[in-house]
């Protein structure tokens, strides 16, 4: 291997990527990094070479396994740049976010007024967030539903760029979530009662353009009581019928479920993933492992209630409820990891105080605080998510044939995932995007 370089590029020269990365639209670009996290392996790869074009990764190798000439520009024998102190990892998949909502505000009046705006206005808010979400390293978003078609419109816009170079993250959407009339979720769903049968309800969502089917199986946590105080909205038979109908259309299902009964009905119904899952039990985790059901634990919206309790007006009793809920959620996350359950990172961005983009980076921090190892957390936000969630583009891995969408950072994310909140460079379909330290949450 030829390791002698005429113009070795130093770490501090990540800005060099500005001129280098656009070349990937016309020829392969060869990078060597000190460490590669490929999104699937359980350990990082040292001294890795990555060759990519704007549209796809061509070669990945380590420890002297150099690319074949057919993967390179004619005559190229050395990397275009070497970043020995940098880590390269896939762009993140945000598996639970509500694109129609601003996440950052926590004032309840402000949030109510927001919902009085037109869908067109919300759509323009959502479009305006894309650049900052990319700066956070978000390469794909699984929208978790709204009733006015904001997520569906974003997904439709993005579909025009399928298999082409894109300037925005991949997004898909379930459209309106399915809930029971009079029960939780009217602001993001439409009632099942609007249709003659569960199958008709699913068919209507698919006809409207839904990429997946979102079910509101339970209510939400009553923070004052510290529990989910109402029974589930959907019995297991109904969940199963909805899941069957979704499968007949080739659609996955994801179930908003907190409280033991809500989680149970979702598992019995055979959904693809359980969202939130607060109060989940170890027995339920075992069933999820056996049925290959994924879990998106969404710590962020509940942790936020603790972190900003004073602003939200919570008293000591409520804060102690919240802390108990988070502690048991942390414990279940550790169990889930030990049991090799498919844990998937999603922040519930858009919900009160959870900004888009930054919210996912915060979610990773909460998972780390729970005791999950950084490499596993990063897999949950990349390779596991991509393997479980059936995205229409090959994303979430640094593997030949996958899209060339990755993050390069000199702040080691395996030391702590909070390092991902520091400045970094995102490579996305032939563009290099730099993110600053301490991004603001404005507009997110
Ligand atoms: Zn949600």
CA distances to 262, 275, 289, 332, 399 from 281, in Å: 12, 14, 13, 7, 36
Taking the centre of ligand 1 as the mean of its atom positions, its distance from the CA of residue 145, in whole angstroms, is: 8
Structure tokens at 123: 């759509």
CA-nearest of 267, 176, 245, 240 to 214 is: 176
**Location of each CATH 3.20.20.140 domain in the chain:** 92-389
CA of 144 to the centre of ligand 1 (A): 6
| pLDDT at residue 179 greater than cutoff 60 | yes
- Closest to 215 (Cα-Cα) out of 193, 189, 194: 189
Tokens of 417: 């995932």
Q: Which letter does DSSP use for residue 186 in this model?
A: T
Ion ligand 1 neighbours (CB, 5 A) are 144, 348
Percent over 90 (pLDDT), the chain: 93
CA of 245 to the centre of ligand 1 (A): 22
Report whether 361 contacts 368 (CB < 8 A): no
What's the fold here for domain 11-90+396-435? Urease, subunit C; domain 1 (2.30.40)
> Residue 367 and residue 57: Cα distance in Å, rounded?
29
Q: How far apart are CA 97 and CA 26, in angstroms?
A: 35
Tokens of 429: 């379909």
For residue 213, the CA-to-ligand 1 centroid distance in Å is 13
Give 124 Cα–ligand 1 centroid separation in angstroms: 20
Report pLDDT digits (tens) over 321-368.
999 999 999 999 999 999 999 999 999 999 999 999 999 999 999 999
* CA–centroid distance, residue 349 to ligand 1 (Å): 8
- CA 98 – ligand 1 centroid, Å: 6
CA of 169 to the centre of ligand 1 (A): 19
- Where in 283-384 does DSSP place strands (E)? 294-296
Considering only the top CATH level, what class is 92-389?
alpha beta
Q: What span, in angstroms and rounded, lies between the C-alpha atoms of 433 and 395?
A: 18
Cα 37 to ligand 1 centre (Å):
29
Q: Ligand 1 centre from 287 Cα, in Å?
A: 23
Q: pLDDT (tens digit, 9 = 90+) per residue, 257-306?
A: 999 999 999 999 999 999 999 999 999 999 999 999 999 999 999 999 99
pLDDT-derived band of residue 4, with 50, 70 and 90 as boundaries? very low
Distance (Å) from CA 271 to ligand 1 centroid: 16
**41 CA from centroid of ligand 1 (Å):** 29
- Give CA–CA dist 153/210, Å, rounded: 10
Q: How many alpha carbons lie under 13 Å from residue 371 in its C-beta half-sphere? A: 13
Relative orientation angle of helices 316-338 and 300-307, to the nearest 10 degrees: 150
> How remote is the CA of residue 345 from the centroid of ligand 1, in Å?
13
Triad 51, 392, 54: Cα angle to 5° = 25
Q: What is the CA radius of gyration of the chain?
A: 22
Ligand 1 geometric centre to CA of 104 (Å): 15
Centroid of ligand 1 to alpha carbon of 388 (angstroms): 18
Read off the pLDDT band of 83 (50, 70, 90).
very high
Longest distance between any two alpha carbons in the chain, whole Å: 71
Q: Give pLDDT, residue 11.
A: 52
Contact in structure between 146 and 155 (CB atoms under 8 Å)? no
pLDDT tens digits along 88-116: 999 999 999 999 999 999 999 999 999 99
* Ligand 1 midpoint to CA 301 (Å): 9
* CA 11 to ligand 1 center in whole angstroms: 39
Please state the separation of Cα 1 from the chain's center in Å. 38
Q: How close is the Cα of 49 to the center of ligand 1, in Å? A: 38
Alpha-carbon distance of 367 to 376, in angstroms, equals 10
Q: pLDDT digit string (tens) for 116-163?
A: 999 999 999 999 999 999 999 999 999 999 999 999 999 999 999 998
How much distance in Å is there from the Cα of 232 to the middle of ligand 1? 16
Distance 263 CA to ligand 1 centre (A): 15
User: So what's the pLDDT on residue 436?
Assistant: 84
**Region of poorest pLDDT, from 36-50, 62-76, 415-429:** 62-76
Distance from the CA of 30 to the center of ligand 1, in angstroms? 40
- How many angstroms does the Cα of residue 26 sit away from the middle of ligand 1? 41
Residue 244 CA, ligand 1 centroid: distance in Å: 22
Report which DSSP code applies to 411: S
Cα–ligand 1 centroid distance for 221 (angstroms) = 13
- What is the distance in A from the centroid of ligand 1 to the CA of 413? 27
Measured in Å, residue 127 CA sits from the centre of ligand 1 at 19
CA of 40 to the centre of ligand 1 (A): 26
Q: CA 310 from chain center: how many Å?
A: 29
| Alpha carbon of 334 to ligand 1 centroid (Å) | 22
DSSP type of residue 421: G
Strands 29-36 and 45-52: antiparallel
Does position 63 have pLDDT exceeding 60, yes or no? yes
Q: Of 145, 140, 151, whose CA–CA distance to 95 is shortest?
A: 140
pLDDT at 314: 97
CA atoms within 13 A on the CB side of 411: 13
Q: What's the gap in Å between 348 CA and the centre of ligand 1?
A: 5
CB 173 within 8 A of CB 159: no
Spell out the long-range contacts of 232-238 with Cβ–Cβ below 8 A and sequence spacing 24 or more: 232/257, 232/259, 232/261, 232/262, 232/265, 233/179, 233/180, 233/183, 233/184, 233/185, 234/180, 234/192, 234/265, 234/269, 235/265, 236/264, 236/265, 236/268, 236/269, 237/269, 238/192, 238/198, 238/269
**What is the structure's pLDDT at 12?**
58
Domain with CATH 2.30.40.10 in the chain: 11-90+396-435
Predicted pLDDT of residue 62? 85
């Amino acid at each position: 291997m030829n390791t002698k370089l005429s113009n070795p590029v130093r770490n501090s020269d990540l800005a060099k990527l500005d001129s280098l990365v656009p070349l990937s639209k016309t020829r392969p670009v060869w990078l060597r990094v000190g460490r590669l996290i490929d999104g699937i392996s359980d350990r990082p790869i040292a001294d890795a070479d990555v060759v990519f074009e704007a549209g796809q990764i061509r070669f990945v190798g380590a420890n002297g396994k150099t690319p074949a000439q057919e993967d390179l520009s004619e005559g190229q024998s050395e990397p275009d740049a070497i970043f020995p102190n940098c880590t390269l990892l896939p762009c993140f998949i945000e598996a639970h976010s509500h694109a129609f909502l601003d996440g950052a505000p926590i004032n309840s009046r402000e949030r109510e007024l927001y919902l009085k705006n037109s869908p067109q206005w919300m759509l323009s808010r959502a479009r305006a967030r894309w650049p900052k979400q990319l700066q956070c390293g978000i390469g794909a978003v699984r929208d978790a539903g709204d009733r006015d078609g904001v997520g569906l419109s974003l997904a439709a816009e993005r579909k025009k760029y399928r298999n082409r170079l894109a300037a925005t993250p991949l997004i898909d959407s379930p459209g309106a979530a399915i809930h029971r009339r009079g029960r939780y979720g009217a602001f993001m769903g439409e009632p099942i009662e609007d249709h003659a049968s569960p199958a008709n309800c699913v068919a209507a969502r698919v006809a409207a353009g839904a990429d997946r089917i979102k079910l509101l199986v339970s209510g939400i946590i009553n923070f004052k009581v510290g529990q989910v105080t109402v029974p589930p909205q959907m019995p297991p038979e109904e969940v199963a019928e909805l899941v069957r109908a979704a499968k007949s259309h080739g659609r996955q299902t994801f179930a908003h479920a907190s409280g033991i009964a809500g989680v149970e009905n979702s598992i019995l119904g055979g959904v693809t993933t359980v969202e939130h899952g607060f109060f989940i039990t170890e027995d339920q985790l075992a069933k999820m492992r056996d049925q290959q059901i994924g879990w998106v634990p969404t710590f962020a919206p509940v942790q936020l209630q603790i972190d900003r309790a004073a602003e939200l007006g919570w008293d000591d009793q409520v804060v102690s409820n919240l802390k108990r809920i988070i502690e048991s959620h942390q414990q279940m996350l550790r169990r889930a990891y030990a049991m090799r359950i498919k844990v998937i990172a999603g922040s519930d961005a858009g919900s009160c105080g959870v900004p888009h983009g930054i919210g996912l980076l915060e979610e990773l921090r909460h998972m780390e605080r729970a005791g999950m190892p950084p490499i596993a957390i990063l897999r949950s936000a990349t390779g596991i998510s991509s393997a479980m969630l059936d995205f229409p583009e090959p994303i979430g891995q640094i593997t030949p044939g996958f899209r060339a969408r990755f993050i390069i950072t000199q702040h080691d994310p395996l030391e702590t995932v909070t390092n991902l909140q520091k400045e970094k460079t995102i490579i996305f379909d032939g563009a290099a995007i730099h993110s600053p330290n301490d991004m603001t949450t404005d507009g997110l």
